[in-house]
Amino acid sequence: MAIWQELKLCWENGYRKVLCCSDSLLAVNLIKQGVTSHHRFANEIHIIRRMLENDWEVVITHTLREGNTCADVLAKMGAMVKISTPPSDLLRPLLEDAWGVEFIME
């Protein structure tokens, strides 16, 4: 549902080159491979796949939650809205991302 809503938000706001990184490998695979009409989320997957046919470039990929601090902060906040100024909790992760800081997973 989050991927669907975020793609819809991107389309409505005129973004035509989108990189969608999800920590749900299952969701990414379902979108890429499609599902049968009997799947629990068949309607949602079908809508997302139809959205991807629009005139835009969308890459949907899997990432580890730990590898995308900014997305993790937003997900914990339940951010499913358009924001013009980053929340204070996001300032440090954005700065670290801009500096190219990498975190090694143990």
Hey, where are the domains in the chain?
Answer: 2-99
Is pLDDT above 60 for 104? no
- The maximal CA–CA distance of the chain, rounded, in angstroms, is 46
Beta strand ranges found along 12-86 (DSSP E): 17-22, 57-62
Confidence of residue 48 (pLDDT cuts 50, 70, 90): very high
CATH topology of domain 2-99: Nucleotidyltransferase; domain 5 (3.30.420)
Q: Give the pLDDT mean for 73-96.
A: 76
For helices 88-99 and 69-77, the axis angle rounded to 10 degrees is: 170
